[in-house]
Amino acid sequence: MRLPIDLIRPVRRRAAQDTGLPEVKLGCAARRAVQATVAFLLFMSAAATQASGGGTVLLARKYRPGQSMVYVTTVRAISKFDSNPPNLKNFFPPMPTDLRLSQQCTVKVAKVNTDGGADVQHRFDKFEVQTEMGSLPQNVRDSITQAQEEVSQRMVGQTLTAHYDRDRRLVGFEGADGFLRSADAPVKEPLMQMLRLYLEQMDGQSVYPNHPLKVGEKWTQSLDSPPTSDYQFEQQGKSTFQYSGKTRYKGVKAAIVDYQIENSLTPALEGLRKDGALPQIESLGGKLDIKITGKGEGRILVALDDGRVLQNHYKMHQTMSALMKGLEALTGPSDQTPRLEIQSDTEMEVDGSKP
Residue 62, classed as helix, strand or coil, is coil
Gap between the Cα atoms of 268 and 237, Å rounded: 17
Gap between the Cα atoms of 134 and 182, Å rounded: 23
Across the chain, mean pLDDT equals 76
The mean per-residue pLDDT over the stretch 339-351 comes to 90
Phi first, then psi: give them for residue 234, nearest 5 degrees. Answer: -90, 125
Angle of helix 185-202 relative to helix 138-155, nearest 10 degrees, comes to: 40
Gap between the Cα atoms of 161 and 173, Å rounded: 6
For the chain, give the number of residues. Answer: 355
pLDDT value at residue 151: 76
Gap between the Cα atoms of 338 and 343, Å rounded: 17
Gap between the Cα atoms of 224 and 236, Å rounded: 4
Gap between the Cα atoms of 124 and 73, Å rounded: 11
Q: How confident is the model at residue 290 (pLDDT cuts 50, 70, 90)?
A: confident
Most confident of 28-37, 61-70, 165-174, 188-197: 61-70
Residue 352, classed as helix, strand or coil, is strand
Q: Specify the pTM.
A: 0.72
Q: How many helices (H) and strands (E) does the chain have?
A: 7, 13
Residues 17-64 have pLDDT tens digits of 444 434 444 454 444 544 444 443 333 333 333 334 457 899 888 888
Q: At the topology level of CATH, where does 56-353 sit?
A: Lipovitellin-phosvitin complex; beta-sheet shell regions (2.30.230)
| Every domain of the chain and the residues it spans | 5-49, 56-353
